[in-house]
Amino acid sequence: MTAPRPTAGRTFPPGTFSPRPGGGSPGRMLAAQAATEVRLALRNGEQVLLTLLIPVVLMVGLATLELVPLPEPRIAAVAPGVLALAVMSTAFTGQAIALGFDRRYGVVRRLAATALPRWLLVAGRLVAVLGVVALQMVLLGALAAGLGWRPEPAGLGWALLLVVLGCAAFGALGILLGGTRGAARGRAVATWAGVRLRGGGGIAIPLDRLPEPLAAVGAVLPSGALAEGLRDTLTTGDPPGAGPVLVLLGWTVAAAAIAVRAVRLR
C-alpha cells in the first residue's frame, strides 16, 4: 500500500544515507565556525572599511596633521586611541551589524539546528572577534611603529589584557544590540553609537584634553576606559588603574546579563 516512488538508485546509490549520526568534536566545530566568520569579516567591504581603513586613516591623519593639539610625540597619544577604536569597530559595531543580518538570514537558527551547542555558538563568534582584533593589532601596531611609536615594553602584556576586556565589553554590547533589533535599525544604532563613542569617548582625543564634564562622561564609557587604560599602560609600563578595568568589567556584566534574556535567535 505505498505510493509509486521515483527511482533513487542512480543518483543516490543504496546506503548513501545510511544513518551514522553524531556531533563533531567541540574543537573542530569552534575552529570551523570562527574561521568562517573571520573570512566573512575580511571579505565584507563595509567591515574592512570599519575595522581597518578608518583606523589606518585616523592613525596617519592624527599623527601627521596638526588638526588637534596633542603633546609630542603625537603618535604616543594617537596609537592607543586608534587601537581602542579598532577593538570597538570589530567587537561592537561589526558584531551588532553582522549579528543583525545573520539573524535576518536565519544563520543563527541554522547553526543551532546542528550539533553545535549554544555556548559554542557564542564562543565561535567571540573567537572570530578575537581573531580579527589580533590581525588589527598586528597591522595597526606595525603602522604605528613605522610612524615612530615606541610603547613601553612592560605595558604590552597589560595592554593585551585590556584589549581582551575591551572585546568582552564591546562584544557583549554588540551582541545585545544586534540580537534584539531588526537588521537595518541595528545597523543605524550601531553606527550612530560608534560615532558617539569615538567622538566623546576619548578615542581620538585624550580625556585630559577634553572639558571636565565631557571627560567625566568619557571615563565611564567603555571606549574612554579602554583608550585611557591603553594610553597609560603603554606610556608608563605600569599596570592599568582599577578605574578602566572596573568600567570595562561593569559594561561586560551588565550587557551580558541583559543579552542572555533579550537576545533572540531570529
Partner 1 sequence: MSSSAPVVSVRGLVKRYGRTTAVDGLDLALDAGQVLALLGPNGAGKTTTVEVCEGFVTADAGEVRVLGTDPAGAPDALRARIGVMPQGGGAYPGVRAAEMLRLVAACSAHPLDVGWLTSVLGLDSCARTPYKRLSGGQQQRLALACAVVGRPELVFLDEPTAGMDPQGRRLVWELIGALRRDGVAVLLTTHLMEEAEELADLVVIVDHGQVVAQGSPVALTATTEQQELRFRARPGMDVAGLAAALPTGYGADEPIAGRYVVRGRIDPVVLSTITGWCAAQGALADDVQVARRSLEDVFLELTGRELRS
Q: Could you say whether residue 49 binds partner 1 (CB under 8 A)?
A: no
CB of 128 to partner 1, least distance (A): 11
Whether 172 contacts 179, CB under 8 Å: no
Which of these ranges, 13-21, 168-176, 187-195, 211-219, lies near partner 1 under the rule CB under 8 A?
A: 13-21
Q: Cβ distance 54 to 89 under 8 Å?
A: yes
**208 C-beta neighbours (distance < 10 Å), count:** 11
Shortest distance (Å) from residue 189 CB to partner 1:
19
How far apart are the C-alpha atoms of 123 and 120, rounded to whole Å? 5
Q: How far apart are CA 177 and CA 98, in angstroms?
A: 11
- Where does this chain touch partner 1 (CB under 8 A) — which range of 18-26, 71-79, 127-135, 169-177? 18-26
Closest distance between partner 1 and the C-beta of residue 181, in Å? 16
42 binds partner 1 (CB under 8 A): no
- By beta-carbon proximity to partner 1, the closer residue of 98 and 177 is 98
Residue with cell 556531533: 23
* Contacts of 125 by beta carbon, 8 Å cutoff, 6+ apart: 33, 34, 37, 95, 99, 171, 175
Q: Which stretch binds partner 1 (CB under 8 A): 40-48, 80-88, 158-166, 256-264?
A: 40-48
Under rule CB under 8 A, residue 67 binds partner 1 = no
**Within positions 96 to 115, which residues make up the interface with partner 1, using CB under 8 A?**
101-102, 104-115
Does residue 8 interact with partner 1 by CB under 8 A? yes
DSSP 239: P
Stretch that binds partner 1, among 11-19, 155-163, 166-174, 219-227 (CB under 8 A): 11-19
Range in contact with partner 1 (rule: CB under 8 A) among 39-47, 71-79, 135-143, 144-152: 39-47
Looking from the CA of 127 toward its CB, the CA atoms found within 13 Å total 18
Q: What's the min distance (Å) between Cβ of 51 and partner 1?
A: 15
CA distance readout (Å), 147 to 18, 78, 85, 168, 254: 61, 11, 18, 29, 38
CB of 112 to partner 1, least distance (A): 8
18 binds partner 1 (CB under 8 A): yes
CB-CB neighbours of 253 under 10 Å: 13
> Least separation, in Å, of the C-beta of 48 and partner 1?
12
Considering Cα of 189, then 177, then 168, then 106, what sign does the dihedral take? negative
The site for partner 1 (CB under 8 A) is made up of: 1-8, 11-12, 14-25, 28-29, 31-33, 36-37, 39-40, 43-44, 101-102, 104-118, 265
